Amino acid sequence: MSRQVVKTDKAPGAVGPYSQAIIANGFVFAAGQGGLIPGTKTPVEGIREQTKQVMENIKAILEAAGTSLDKVVKTTVFLTNLDDFAAMNEVYGSYFGAEPPARSTVQVSRLPLNIDVEIEVIALA
């Protein structure tokens, strides 16, 4: 099984010892992305804006891996407040068509850099 690291400047760099994504065995495993502005460690404000930035960051990483959002098979959403679920869901849903990927959503007590939402994805390579 081969393993390839994915890296792009069009999404925020890792804030720790991990890769933006790894391609392995026909899949892309993207690390959780927050609503950070690429090239910074600064989050955008508001749950809708953060969710949009998260999805744009994921889109950029998937494109760097040679795939796209329509190839995503599974996502995990981490929210610091489940009261933000409807707003996040509205933005998230606009990025997927009639057949969205499988998804889990969980509330967590805190996320790195005090972001409100983080999403990780698995996609077909």
Mean pLDDT of the chain: 96
DSSP 8-state assignment for residue 2? -
* Mean pLDDT on 93-109: 96
Mean pLDDT score, 48-64: 98
- Quick: pLDDT tens for 4-22: 999 999 999 988 899 999 9
Is 90 exceeded by the pLDDT of residue 57? Answer: yes
pTM tops 0.75: yes
Tell me the CATH number at 119: 3.30.1330.40
Cα 64 from chain centroid?
14
Domain with 119 in it:
3-124
Which two structure tokens, joined as six digits, stand for 121?
Answer: 């994805």
What is the phi/psi pair of residue 63, to 5°? -65, -40
